[in-house]
Structure 1
Amino acid sequence: MQNKEPILMMKKVINLFFRELDAMNTEQLQVPVSGHNMIVIEYLIHHTEPVYQRDLENHFFVRRSTVSKVLRLMEEKGMIARLPVHDDARLKQIVLTDYGRKIHEAAVGNVKVLEEKLFRNFSEEETETLRRLLMKLEHNMEEVD
């Protein structure tokens, strides 16, 4: 019998979504593009103010070592650049390269295709209910005791 625990189900759906997105992006762009890469690219696209590693750590609730590894690989692939900050030699501003923007353009269509697949049997009301429930879960996890 399959386990139907909500947490495990969410994890499975997320894994399936990103596995398929990774495959679509890699096939279309002819280079490996991970879900983590896409999340960072999406974050950078939508932030006009300077972005630093600690911003990503705080926003995504991940460890410094994890973000550092993802950024290092993205920089090696030419998706981002880390620029020195004049006031503080320890800080590096993270910016998308033209190649990173090209990846974003290609991936946006792939995400839309997968979102349509994911929600194809949902009514608008069900989608909104899911959104509200996920917001509650997020709030519960962020709440400080």
Structure 2
Amino acid sequence: MKTKDKLKLGLDIGKINHIISRNVDVAVMNAIDDNLTVAQAYTIDFIILEGKNKDIFQKDLEKGLDLKRSSISLMLNNMEKSNLIQRVPVSQDARLKKIELTDKSHKLYEKISKAIDVVENRLSKDINEDELKIFYNVLNKIRNNLD
């Protein structure tokens, strides 16, 4: 494949990412009355979905949201100040703190979830299951190429 095509692929992915982010931003901001960022909304969504059967730690957020440690740390600090999360020490290692959502976050989750679902449904409109599987396969290959 030509270098020119590879650069266009990256540019196109960046453009789509920007469009999706703008749509999610608008949907989440319209759905909630609080001073919540989209990253915080996705964090709440992630903790609820991934934390059903296990404790969630900062490293889980770093990996699951594909963000750097410093970015997650800053976001968690802001979320803690806004009473959206609390960090709870675990008995086996006092240095390790699990991330728990507050009642405030749980109340916001339903609105956040609905807003995100509306955008996600628009994204996948007219795309069948086989096409989505191929798309995710290609996305994973691209992600692995960059790791």
In the alignment, the residues of structure 2 paired with residue 129 and residue 59 of structure 1 have an alpha-carbon distance, to the nearest angstrom, of 21
Deviations 1:43-65 (A, max 9, x none): 21122322221232244443221
Equivalence for 2:42: 39
2:136 is aligned with what amino acid?
R
In the superposition, the TM-score normalised over structure 2's length comes to 0.78
Identity among equivalent positions (%) equals 28
In the alignment, the residues of structure 2 paired with residue 119 and residue 49 of structure 1 have an alpha-carbon distance, to the nearest angstrom, of 29
Is 1:100 paired with 2:114?
Answer: no
Task: Give the length in aligned residue pairs.
Answer: 139
Tell me which moved more, 57-66 or 41-50: 57-66
**What are structure 1's unaligned runs of at least 5 residues?**
none
Superposed counterparts of 1:52-91, under 5 Å: 52-91=57-96
In the alignment, the residues of structure 2 paired with residue 12 and residue 128 of structure 1 have an alpha-carbon distance, to the nearest angstrom, of 22
The higher relative CO (CA closer than 8 Å, separation ≥ 6) is in 2
Equivalence for 1:115: 120
Q: 1:24 to 1:62 in 2, by over 3 A?
A: closer
In the superposition, the TM-score normalised over structure 1's length comes to 0.78
Give me the CA root mean square deviation.
2.3
- Matched-pair contact (CA < 8 Å) for 2:85–2:99: yes
Deviations 1:107-137 (A, max 9, x none): 2221221122223353544333322211222
Deviations 1:35-92 (A, max 9, x none): 3212322221122322221232244443221111010111122221111233433222
